[in-house]
Amino acid sequence: MVVLVGFAALSIDIAMVSLTKTKLQNAAVAAALAGAQDLPNISTAKSTAIYYAGQNVQATETMPTAPYNDDSTKIEVVCTKTVSYTFARVLGFTQTNVSARAVAQKTSVGQAFEFGVFAGEGKASFNGSKHVFDGGVYGRDGVSLGNGAQILHGDAVSSNGTCSSFNGPGKSITNNPVIPMPDFSELIKSQGIIVNSQAEFDAVVNGKSVDGPIYVNGDLTINGRIKGSGVIYAKGTITFINNNILQSEEDSICFYAEEGDMTFNGGSGIVVGILYAPNGTIRINGGPNSTTYGRIIAKSVDVNGAEASVYAGANDLNAFSTLTTVKIIQ
């Protein structure tokens, strides 16, 4: 009889512990993901995690830790529950503590967007003179800013190349650790309005404000102002043509060419927002003055013309406000 009860303890009580462990793990994951949404507000993130853990399983204790490992983008949740044995009591075992943990991280635009100009796999090259940068300049393979360039705030930074001299209080930094290029393509595809042609795109944006992602399945030409603070994503290339005033200071659009280059041709164009080509080159050609009130982020950056200036500001990243995401990392 003792042997039979022992087998029952192994099959029933251990199965109950295993089921509880699974429920706790699901609760910890749900709690960590929910809590991460509220980061960097630590107190709210912890309260949210505790609430969602309670909605999934009646844990004996839920312990959220944020920031986790001194990282304000991460939260750890540990759920613990006491499981009372049934048949195993005959063998002298009364209960055991079961626990599960999960760590979630809230991610946004990444370190690349801390710069006014970022060339993630090549060189940041500005030909001409008198360029002004209100924000740092990063070129993985070097930074060349032309004659009389000024960096008002920030540094010229390279990982594998040299940095030309410039006017301003910042430093020229070489041998910097390589900064990775972020990729938002899958997130935009899942959240955005999908259009398959230039004509469809023109119909969607004509006279309207773009306040979320638009995914264009192909190349795109921009020939006028795009209102709003969303993301214009093209799977191929983006070309801007002959615009004297492209954007308004009321706008904050991210123009995103995923697979191809981005070219700005002619005129004294003004862009308010972000030019982003993670797998291509951003080229600004011609014109006496091309000014970006935002950021230029690309595999490489090639500017030909006088006074092609970049002014990065606090509101430049408004276009990415809907693109923050949370994920389980442990």
pLDDT for the residue numbered 83? 83
Q: Cα separation of 3 and 9, whole Å?
A: 10
The full set of domain ranges for the chain reads 2-107, 111-324
* 110-155 pLDDT tens trace: 778 889 999 999 999 988 788 899 999 999 999 999 888 999 999 9
Averaged over 251-278, what is the pLDDT? 82
DSSP bridge pairs for 277: 298
pLDDT for the residue numbered 161? 94
Q: Per mean pLDDT, which range of 24-28, 217-221, 317-321 is the poorest?
A: 317-321
Q: Cα separation of 285 and 243, whole Å?
A: 12
50-to-45, 77, 328 alpha-carbon distances in Å: 9, 9, 17
Q: Cα separation of 36 and 105, whole Å?
A: 6
How is residue 213 written in tokens?
A: 């992602």
Averaged over 169-184, what is the pLDDT? 90
In this predicted structure, the answer to whether residue 13 has a pLDDT above a threshold of 70 is yes
Are the C-beta atoms of 247 and 270 separated by less than 8 Å? yes
User: To the nearest whole number, what is the mean pLDDT of the chain?
Assistant: 84
In this predicted structure, the answer to whether residue 244 has a pLDDT above a threshold of 60 is no
In this predicted structure, the answer to whether residue 223 has a pLDDT above a threshold of 90 is no
In this predicted structure, the answer to whether residue 245 has a pLDDT above a threshold of 60 is no
pLDDT for the residue numbered 151? 94
How is residue 235 written in tokens?
A: 């799977």
Are the C-beta atoms of 83 and 67 separated by less than 8 Å? no
Are the C-beta atoms of 285 and 261 separated by less than 8 Å? no
Averaged over 13-35, what is the pLDDT? 87
pLDDT for the residue numbered 246? 63
Are the C-beta atoms of 16 and 48 separated by less than 8 Å? no
Q: Going by C-beta distance under 8 Å and a sequence separation of 6 or more, which residues neighbour residue 100?
A: 21, 24, 25, 27, 28, 78, 79
pLDDT for the residue numbered 108? 67
Q: Give 264: exposed, middle or buried? Use CB within 10 Å, 0-12, 13-18, 19+.
A: buried
Averaged over 91-107, what is the pLDDT? 84
Per-residue confidence band for 199, with pLDDT thresholds at 50, 70 and 90: very high
Q: Give 95: exposed, middle or buried? Use CB within 10 Å, 0-12, 13-18, 19+.
A: exposed
